[in-house]
Amino acid sequence: MAKDDRVFVGVDLGATKIMAAAYDAKMRPISTEKMKTPREANAKKVVGALSEAVRLCLEAAGPGLALGGVGVAVPGPLDRAKGIVRYTPNMGFKDYNLGQELENLFGAPAYLDNDVQAGAYGELRAGVLRGKTNAVAVFLGTGIGGGIVIDGKLFRGSSGSAGEVGHMIIHEGGSLCGCGNYGCLEALASRTAMAKDAVALAASGKAPGMLDAAGTDIRKYRSSAFEASLGAGDKYIKKAVDRAAFWLGVGLANIVHILNPEAIVLGGGVVSRFGEKFRDKAVESMNDHLMPGLAGTAEILLSELGDLAVPTGAAFFAAEGVGA
């Protein structure tokens, strides 16, 4: 197999969707595939859907190309060296050797990594963080995760879990977080946090646009529902979104105080839907909470890669692992 004939596939394996993208030997995206993750918490069914997404990506990439490697970005703890997924909520993985199974299926090397660290790496190698030396990526969706770049390299930490910015406690005694603590950034600024406020507003009649878009089933309160609600003029939903941006700004101020990065990139579904206005509200709050002299030291950027940030990072991990 010639180097120019190789294609690398990166996969964002999430509890609700699987996003795969194929890249040529020069790491340019050439095909993508998106599908829903099987609802059953069944690892075999999830692996089947994942492998089908990879297969379709390869098929769309064109004839004469061979899979050089596949990188899979996974939420939750894992053993990167052994390719073992320790645990993922809602997908049925527990001490599961996903890396080996994928290698058996495709006859090519497989690499696993953390999803948000892969997103940070994607932005570093091919997105808005190119050329940055010290930076942080913060991804907002159902939860909040992050990745840290120090001296131009992804910082893993002692056990590989560096970048859990969503679980910094910024409001002692605040809202309950899924991790079990109270007042985490994730419990105050994620889409889940916004949804808890929004469902009460819809049920009480204060957000008719949201009620039309998603009813009172919190599982339907996705970023698209918020976009529809804001478009319908739900002023109380706007307040809930602005409140999340305020708390995000508090979190960003903490990041600046601790790491002094030159840039922070914001990504994820919430940011892609709300964009510059949400970013600007967060920056305003951040500056209000920074000690004198630090305002303006970190550029707050929006993701350049969007949904492709995580697959791009995963594909780069695979390509670099086999020496592309």
> Does 94 fall in a domain?
yes
pLDDT score of 1 more than 70: no
Instruction: Based on the fold, state whether residues 47 and 185 are members of the same structural domain.
Output: no
Instruction: Based on the fold, state whether residues 293 and 312 are members of the same structural domain.
Output: no
Find all residues with CB under 8 Å of 207, minimum gap 6, and list them. Answer: 198, 201, 229, 234, 236, 237
Residue 266 neighbours by CB distance under 10 Å: 26
pTM, entire model: 0.92
CATH of the domain at 24: 3.30.420.40
pLDDT score of 304 more than 60: yes
Residue 266: left (phi > 0), alpha (psi -120 to 50), or beta?
beta
Instruction: Based on the fold, state whether residues 314 and 225 are members of the same structural domain.
Output: no
Find all residues with CB under 8 Å of 265, minimum gap 6, and list them. Answer: 120, 123, 127, 128, 129, 135, 136, 137, 138, 301, 302, 303
For the chain, the domain total comes to 2
Count the helix, strand and coil residues of the chain and give each as a percent rounded to the nearest 5: 45, 25, 30
Question: Do 11 and 70 touch, CB atoms closer than 8 A?
Answer: yes
Query: Quick one: what percent of the chain has pLDDT higher than 90?
Result: 83
Instruction: Based on the fold, state whether residues 44 and 139 are members of the same structural domain.
Output: no
> Does 212 fall in a domain?
yes
Instruction: Based on the fold, state whether residues 27 and 71 are members of the same structural domain.
Output: yes
Instruction: Based on the fold, state whether residues 267 and 154 are members of the same structural domain.
Output: yes
Instruction: Based on the fold, state whether residues 64 and 78 are members of the same structural domain.
Output: yes
- pLDDT tens for 198-248 read 999 999 999 999 999 999 999 899 888 999 999 999 999 999 999 999 999
39 band by pLDDT with thresholds 50, 70 and 90: confident
3 band by pLDDT with thresholds 50, 70 and 90: low
User: In this predicted structure, what is the pLDDT of residue 238?
Assistant: 96
Mean pLDDT of 292-316: 96
Instruction: Based on the fold, state whether residues 23 and 167 are members of the same structural domain.
Output: no
Q: Which of 88-97, 151-160, 276-285, 309-318 has the lowest mean pLDDT?
A: 88-97
> Does 125 fall in a domain?
no
User: In this predicted structure, what is the pLDDT of residue 2?
Assistant: 56
Helix axes 223-231, 235-259, angle to 10 degrees: 130
Instruction: Based on the fold, state whether residues 63 and 174 are members of the same structural domain.
Output: no
pLDDT score of 293 more than 90: yes
pLDDT score of 197 more than 80: yes
Instruction: Based on the fold, state whether residues 295 and 314 are members of the same structural domain.
Output: no
pLDDT score of 15 more than 90: no
pLDDT score of 48 more than 90: yes
> Does 274 fall in a domain?
yes
- pLDDT tens for 307-324 read 999 999 999 999 998 654
Containing structural domain, residue 44: 3-120+308-321
User: In this predicted structure, what is the pLDDT of residue 324?
Assistant: 44
> Does 126 fall in a domain?
no
> Does 61 fall in a domain?
yes
One-letter amino acid identity for 121? Y
Instruction: Based on the fold, state whether residues 190 and 98 are members of the same structural domain.
Output: no
Instruction: Based on the fold, state whether residues 140 and 241 are members of the same structural domain.
Output: yes
> Does 48 fall in a domain?
yes
> Does 184 fall in a domain?
yes
Which tokens hold the place of 192? 């889940």
> How confident is the prediction for the chain on average, in pLDDT?
93
